[in-house]
Amino acid sequence: MARQNKLKSISAKDLGHLFMPDFCPRCFWLERHRGKPPGIFPGIFSTLDSLTRRHVHWSFAEKGETPRWLPVSDVVEVEEGDTFFKLPVNPGGWVLVGKPDDVFKLKDGSYHIVDYKTARFTGRQDELFPMYEVQLNSYAYLAEQYGYKPVSKLSLIYCQPNQDLDEDAEFRLSFTTHHLNVDLNPDLVFQLLIRAREIVDQPEPPQPSHKCRGICEWIERRI
């Protein structure tokens, strides 16, 4: 896949960073114009999310229903394959990119988009919830442009590891799932797309947020 032009394209997740309480406009400008330091993100979380999705699809294909642990009802169809969205959007002049974990068609003909998170469930107190809210709403907007409309529901499905092993001898660990509804708010996506463009189009990097310890500091030490 060709490398994205960060002055023209933005992912749903990156857009979500603008809604975080500790968002730093200087970090964002520097990342887009000069790149960011290499990140270390444990691949195990992506693997677990992929396995979650695989089990959901297996259950629907074999039994005609989602697994019992998944609190999503009225599903009549599960979108197969990787659902990858990439679309030019007018607000801010960006190409918005997103890849939801699952898109379910419901009995009433509408669509339910879910994102799986292997993490401890803390509800809306999750420090990353603002980013997830924007991420899912970006998926909803893109999905409808691709014909999956109307999108009626957005959900975060937290898969939280239990504190104790099921069986010590076999090293078996189970997960408890929690369902969190996310409000549909497409206006939030448009507002942040415009704000992102305003920051990137500045000729010089803006001032950092108060006591920022993000990538702007890392890059500044190496300029």
Q: Which CATH class is domain 9-32+44-220?
A: alpha beta
3-state secondary structure 120-185: CCCHHHCCCHHHHHHHHHHHHHHHHHCCCCCEEEEEEEEEEECCCCCECCCCECCEEEEEEEECCC
pLDDT at 110: 97
| Domain edges within the chain | 9-32+44-220
pLDDT at 221: 64
**d(C-alpha 151, C-alpha 96), whole Å:** 18
Digit-coded pLDDT (tens) for 33-83: 988 776 655 567 778 888 889 999 999 999 999 999 898 889 999 998 778
pLDDT at 174: 81
Question: What phi and psi, each to the nearest 5 degrees, are found at residue 99?
Answer: -140, 90
**d(C-alpha 29, C-alpha 209), whole Å:** 12
pLDDT at 132: 96
pLDDT at 98: 96
**d(C-alpha 44, C-alpha 53), whole Å:** 14
Is residue 177 a contact partner of residue 138, using CB atoms and an 8 Å limit? Answer: no
Residue 145 neighbours by CB under 8 Å, 6+ apart? 85, 87
pLDDT in tens, the chain (223 residues): 345 689 999 999 999 999 999 999 999 998 899 887 766 555 677 788 888 899 999 999 999 999 998 988 899 999 987 789 999 999 899 999 999 999 999 999 999 999 999 888 888 878 999 999 999 999 999 999 999 999 999 999 998 888 777 667 677 768 889 999 999 999 999 999 999 999 999 999 999 887 787 777 666 665 5
CA quadruple 159, 164, 169, 171: dihedral sign: positive
Task: Give, as one character, the DSSP assignment of residue 69.
Answer: T
Residue at token pair 């010089």: 204
